[in-house]
Amino acid sequence: MSFEMFTAAHYAALLSAIIVFASIFLMRKKLRVPAINRYFRIGLSGVLISCEVALQASYIIEDEWSFGSLPLQLCSITLLIAAVMLLTGSERLYDIVFFLGILGALQALITPNLGWGFPHFRYFHFFIAHIGIIAAGLFILVIERYKPTYKSVLRAWVWLHVLAIPAALTNYLTGYTNFMFLARKPGTASLLDMLAPWPWYILQLEVVVVVLCVLLLWSVALVRRIYRLEGVRART
């Protein structure tokens, strides 16, 4: 059941992701209808919360729970934040979910740090959770008409450092966890392999995060201009 990148199981998950994202975009007008919008928010937040609950339950059932099971990876944190954002409608959380959530989950989908393949539970959990995070980011973009700005990038960058504090402290105190990959690079192939060894890649990531956030910002602006997307609302 070991997972291998760029195999049929990986491509199937990526295809599922594309279908979900395209559906949100194509159904954006219907999803703005208040009743449908409310059900979609509740449903997607339920999926996200269920993913984390099921994961923690699997650790306990399999007698594998440890401090390393805490939801302190970037995608685990943004997953929970996205669920809260969807339930509360808090626009203060938009920057975190859109930039940190989408970029973190997108990298996870392309280069999964996953040891279990199809049809193991962890395979389904991993891809459903990360697809759900990006779906939440697209929801606020195309349905709630969130308009990211350069200030949004700055806020996301600040939030990244705030979220890294409990992760770094746990890594230091336990001596074996690797939350947010602050202690070492992941054991599986990832984009971090192109950076310098620890701890220098952490400094390089400071620049990489800003560059990726700006590229995402520009991509959104370009798509809106090309397709002349209607009703863009600036974030307050």
| Cα(156)–Cα(190) distance, integer angstroms | 22
Helices (H) and strands (E) in the chain, counts: 8, 2
Which pLDDT value is given to residue 233?
Answer: 53
pLDDT-based confidence at residue 228 (cuts at 50, 70, 90): low
Residues in the chain: 236
pLDDT in tens, 99-111: 999 999 999 999 9
Entry pTM: 0.93
pLDDT in tens, 46-101: 999 999 999 999 999 999 999 999 999 999 999 999 999 999 999 999 999 999 99
Query: Can you tell me which residue has the tokens 């859109």?
Result: 98
Q: Where are the domains of the chain?
A: 8-234
Max CA pair span of the chain: 53
pLDDT-based confidence at residue 236 (cuts at 50, 70, 90): very low
Residue type, position 165, single letter? I
Burial of 14 from C-beta contacts in 10 A (0-12 / 13-18 / 19+) = middle
CB 82 within 8 A of CB 97: yes
Burial of 82 from C-beta contacts in 10 A (0-12 / 13-18 / 19+) = buried
